[in-house]
Structure 1
Amino acid sequence: MFKNVILITIDSLRADHLRPYGYYIETPNIDELASQGILFRNAYANSPGTPSSFQAILTSTYPMMYGGYGKMSKHRPYLPSILKSCIDNIYTIGITSNPYLSHYYGYNRGFDYFYDGFQDEHTSTLISRGLKFLKHLLEPSPYVVGSTLNEIAKKQLLKAKTKRFFLWIHYMDVHFPYFYKSKLRNLVFHRKIHKLNSLILDVIYDKTNSVDENTLRDLIYLYDEGIQRVDEYIGDLISFLKKNDLLDDTLLILVSDHGDEFMEHGGLAHTPKLYNELLHIPLIISNPSLKKQKCRKVVDQLDIVPTISKALGCPISPKWLGNPLFDQNKIDSKMKEKVVISEVANTSISDKISLDEWRVSILKGKWKLHYYHKTKSIELYDTSRDPQEKMNIASKFDNISGSLLKTIKDYMKFAKSTWDDEKLKKAIKNLKLKGKI
């Protein structure tokens, strides 16, 4: 058991762009975390977008349960609220600048202190925030940068020094639109950065599907530079913990909500697809008391909340669908190989949930099946031979496709059974208006 837990989430960070996962860029602080703990080589997101994946990360439930994603449902077993009910003297801190993780969507629930970058704004609609986002495409970043979030975190951690604490901090510096350090101002010009970010929007909105190799290389360079910037912020946070004698008593968990794509399947940034460039994520559990370990078993975001709860000595909620990832400071030897279900139900140009757009994938062993509810189409991949998911072999393996598809449909039925009456009535009304039922 640990006195404290810090959950570090990094938006849009794919596993294969980190040094501990075999990439070439220097990330010394993330490397240090991996050297003092457990590196999960096969961790997967339960959705390719922030609003949906955080339902799994912070409630250990699937995105399309409880009426779907968007605002945090009061029926979901939300970690901060459960920790407050379990531990008398715990101070809960939430720090983010992603509008989808703001108080507007109910993410402030259960936190003693919550910062989302919008406290000083009097606008409450996502549209107004989206306009601000587009307005700032020419600025270095539309989000509060990690160094500022760190300063906020440090002040709150000093307040909580005599208490137990849970800190969740979410960094946006890897997320599109990409920008650059001031020292790179002469290397990568402002206008070029804007042009690259505009190209990403053109690809997302299907205005073009052509990206040349040089442009793609520039985009990846900027993406990687954002990763190195976040690595510096993590180093700064670790140094603060050491200086204030907090590190030894604190379990750190690093994970991302989803990855980013670079034309592997015809897209940029992250769109409603379920390929591994968007779902294969880093997951590191770290503390100086932990031995360096690498786990090759398949895990997913559902396992994060039970892991945090167990680390803090809280009971596991029966509503949580994941399992604790380690026991007595080592990988749980009883941990079974997991079947990962990932899903999304919106289009590239709208974050509104549509049952028609429901896409579900299932990863079981080496087999991965994609299902698109609108067209009833399926894709099957042997990830041991085809990890990039390029060769659809569904027609060659009917039995495997059929078995996995049945599991997906059983899951979809289960997810809808958790919807409350009001949301269900709205969904049925929407389908009737569209002539679907």
Structure 2
Amino acid sequence: MMAVIFVFAAASDEGPVVPDASPRHIVIVLVDALRADHLGCYGYTRNTSPFIDTLAADSVLFERAYSQSSFTVESTLSLFSGMYPSSNPWGGGQYANTNPEVKDLAQLLAAGGYHTAYFSTNPTLDYTALHKSFDEHAFLAKTFDKKSQSLKLTEKALNFMKEHTGRSTFMYLHYVSPHTPYTPPDEYYLRFAPEVYPEPLDAIDDVRAHLDTLLAEGFGPGEARFEDLMLRYDAEIAQDDDAIKALFEGLKALGTLEDTLLVFVADHGEEFLEHGSVEHAWSLFSESIHVPLLFWMPKRLAPARIATPVALVDLLPSLLELAGLPPAQHAVDGAPLFQRENDAWVPKPKEKPIIAELLNPVRNVVRAVVEGEYLYIAAPKWLTLEERVSVSQHIADARSETLRGLRPSPHPWGPLQYEALFNRKKDPAEKENILEVLPELRDRMHDILNALRERCPDQVPDPVKIVRIPNVITHDIRMFLEEKGYLKPESTPEEQAVETEETLRSLGYF
């Protein structure tokens, strides 16, 4: 998923007042499943992102930004909480959710005087309680539509700004076009090819669910069906590039760009067989977690390219500081990316290890550490190709059976099934596992993850998390939840919310 963040602010007539030196409006625009290396400003040769590239020339661009997961919900909740998935007892797994005990970025900005809004075309994130942190929200898609809703999202954002030009505002906009199923309009496809490929494969039903068969047939780089798949992905990036351009031009017409901070970021990347998988939420190699990150605020931030590795968890402390607001009261894993020097903001991120986590027992359970030029991967669960295909073909059953304990679920800190270490400077494709060559560095990575484990709380059980997501409770799951005492028979969503809190208190999570 790709994410873009725009920040804007204005003084309010009621409630808290945003500091005078702060940006007048804050807008987060997240475009789903966008990998950094498919943008021109990050070196891509195909012209997928002409507007974003223009924006980047006037921005602080972080060359090595990493998401905290390759799964949208885990990653986005980390962005809003400033916490790694394991640091948040609600933050990991298929049913990850907001932490009711912690104020997230939207709530902290609201407390600082911003009127907040959340508009999304991603149905997965809409199942969480994130939207409840905002003053206004709208879900613009119930499925991953084959027809992009990006322009509709842009229109919604601009209408919001028209209605609130006299207030300090914070918008979170979640664009989703580059996400599967990769179905761009022909006009975008034909930017990169003389004609539309006549027999495209469906990214989910054909490719993910039958990848073993396709690979045996020669599917891969250079093969027509594979090249078409990637071209469709690129064409959807171009489609969202136009939608973001329309957003920017609309905000300019409204006169809101003078005191605007724009942050452009992605929640995760996308896999195209670099390490044997497609789509996302299977691994934490760089194609899955290396994301674009730009800060655009020409009046206060001079353009620069920063090579220091940074993370999505750094956004919460950075945005609060740039907005002139107090830091979060809860412990965060991120750190501010800017320092105040001679009355100006200067990008000076701290050198630190960065951790990413995929805690999805239905798929894989993996952690990654980025430190300096090295990427370390450690997986307590690591499916084979055949196992990934089987899960993909029966994904709904796999989720239900895992939740009910009918499929084995690994301990999130259990023995490793896969472990690897790569030097990205010498081996940018991450093909040469040097784990045994550098035992001291391997032990260093173990120490980093052990330190995380020691300070992290236990995760709230999935049956408790899912009670807060009534939209995904099927009949068989409901029967299981009632049998185990997590739900009362025929309880309403309002009663479920009360039951959830009671269950959490009994388990010691409050």
**Contact 1:44-1:279 at 8 Å conserved across structures:** yes
What's the counterpart of residue 358 of structure 2? Answer: 344
What's the counterpart of residue 168 of structure 2? Answer: 164
**Contact 2:91-2:98 at 8 Å conserved across structures:** no
Structure 1 residues 97 and 403: alpha-carbon distance in aligned structure 2, compared to 1, 3 A threshold? same
What's the counterpart of residue 198 of structure 1? Answer: 205
What's the counterpart of residue 10 of structure 1? Answer: 31
How far 1:82 moved relative to its partner?
Answer: 1.5
What's the counterpart of residue 100 of structure 2? Answer: 74
Q: For 2:32 and 2:116, how far apart are their aligned partners in 1?
A: 21
**Equivalent runs, 1:215-226 vs 2, <5 Å:** 215-226=225-236
What's the counterpart of residue 179 of structure 1? Answer: 183
What's the counterpart of residue 430 of structure 1? Answer: none
Unaligned runs of 5+ in 1: 119-128, 352-356, 427-432
TM-superposition CA deviations, 1:158-193 (whole Å, max 9, x none): 11100011111111011110012243589326x633
What's the counterpart of residue 239 of structure 2? Answer: 229
**Equivalent runs, 1:279-318 vs 2, <5 Å:** 279-289=289-299, 290-318=301-329
Say if 2:425 is the partner of 1:384.
yes
Say if 2:41 is the partner of 1:20.
yes
Q: For 1:346 and 1:422, how far apart are their aligned partners in 2?
A: 14
State the SS of the aligned residue for 2:131: coil
What's the counterpart of residue 122 of structure 1? Answer: none
**Contact 1:66-1:75 at 8 Å conserved across structures:** no
Say if 2:337 is the partner of 1:325.
yes
**Contact 2:62-2:292 at 8 Å conserved across structures:** yes
Which of 356, 360, 365 is equivalent to 2:367? 360
Which of 150, 154, 161 is equivalent to 2:158? 154
How far 1:7 moved relative to its partner?
Answer: 1.3
**Contact 2:370-2:376 at 8 Å conserved across structures:** yes
What's the counterpart of residue 106 of structure 1? Answer: 129
What's the counterpart of residue 409 of structure 1? Answer: 450
Q: For 1:263 and 1:243, how far apart are their aligned partners in 2?
A: 43
TM-superposition CA deviations, 1:51-104 (whole Å, max 9, x none): 1101211111111222333222213431111212222xx2111111212221x3
Q: For 2:328 and 2:203, how far apart are their aligned partners in 1?
A: 45
Unaligned runs of 5+ in 2: 1-21, 382-414, 468-483, 485-510
- Letter paired with 2:419: I
State the SS of the aligned residue for 1:224: helix
**Contact 1:146-1:233 at 8 Å conserved across structures:** yes
State the SS of the aligned residue for 1:394: coil
Structure possessing the higher radius of gyration over alpha carbons: 2
Q: For 1:331 and 1:218, how far apart are their aligned partners in 2?
A: 42
How far 1:245 moved relative to its partner?
Answer: 0.8
Structure 1 residues 298 and 101: alpha-carbon distance in aligned structure 2, compared to 1, 3 A threshold? same
How far 1:41 moved relative to its partner?
Answer: 0.4
Q: For 1:9 and 1:154, how far apart are their aligned partners in 2?
A: 16
**Contact 2:32-2:267 at 8 Å conserved across structures:** yes
- Letter paired with 1:331: V
**Percent of residue pairs bearing the same amino acid type:** 26
Q: For 1:372 and 1:419, how far apart are their aligned partners in 2?
A: 21
Q: For 2:136 and 2:445, how far apart are their aligned partners in 1?
A: 43
Structure 1 residues 345 and 420: alpha-carbon distance in aligned structure 2, compared to 1, 3 A threshold? closer
What's the counterpart of residue 55 of structure 1? Answer: 77
Q: For 1:75 and 1:421, how far apart are their aligned partners in 2?
A: 17
Structure 1 residues 230 and 341: alpha-carbon distance in aligned structure 2, compared to 1, 3 A threshold? same
Q: For 1:42 and 1:421, how far apart are their aligned partners in 2?
A: 33
How far 1:198 moved relative to its partner?
Answer: 3.2
What's the counterpart of residue 429 of structure 1? Answer: none
Say if 2:303 is the partner of 1:262.
no
How far 1:271 moved relative to its partner?
Answer: 3.1
Which of 369, 376, 380 is equivalent to 2:376? 369
State the SS of the aligned residue for 1:170: strand
Q: For 2:201 and 2:230, how far apart are their aligned partners in 1?
A: 15
How far 1:420 moved relative to its partner?
Answer: 9.3
Structure 1 residues 422 and 180: alpha-carbon distance in aligned structure 2, compared to 1, 3 A threshold? closer
Q: For 2:177 and 2:160, how far apart are their aligned partners in 1?
A: 21
State the SS of the aligned residue for 2:307: strand
**Contact 2:82-2:334 at 8 Å conserved across structures:** yes
State the SS of the aligned residue for 2:118: strand
State the TM-score, normalized to the length of structure 1: 0.83
How far 1:203 moved relative to its partner?
Answer: 4.8
- Letter paired with 2:432: M
**Contact 2:376-2:420 at 8 Å conserved across structures:** yes
**Contact 1:370-1:380 at 8 Å conserved across structures:** yes
Provide the aligned length of Structure 1 versus Structure 2. Answer: 395
TM-superposition CA deviations, 1:196-224 (whole Å, max 9, x none): 553333257x6654423222211111111
Which of 103, 106, 109 is equivalent to 1:83? 109
What's the counterpart of residue 238 of structure 1? Answer: 248
How far 1:321 moved relative to its partner?
Answer: 2.2
Say if 2:64 is the partner of 1:42.
yes
How far 1:275 moved relative to its partner?
Answer: 0.3
What's the counterpart of residue 31 of structure 1? Answer: 53
Q: For 2:328 and 2:459, how far apart are their aligned partners in 1?
A: 16
Q: For 2:461 and 2:227, how far apart are their aligned partners in 1?
A: 47
Q: Structure 1 runs of 4+ off > 6 angstroms?
A: 420-424
What's the counterpart of residue 94 of structure 1? Answer: 118
Q: For 1:310 and 1:109, how far apart are their aligned partners in 2?
A: 24
How far 1:264 moved relative to its partner?
Answer: 0.3
State the TM-score, normalized to the length of structure 2: 0.72
How far 1:291 moved relative to its partner?
Answer: 2.0
What's the counterpart of residue 125 of structure 1? Answer: none
Moved more, 322-331 or 312-321: 322-331
Q: For 1:416 and 1:261, how far apart are their aligned partners in 2?
A: 31
Q: For 1:32 and 1:55, how far apart are their aligned partners in 2?
A: 29
How far 1:45 moved relative to its partner?
Answer: 0.9
Where relative contact order (Cα < 8 A, 6+ residues apart) is larger, the structure is 1
Q: For 1:196 and 1:187, how far apart are their aligned partners in 2?
A: 20
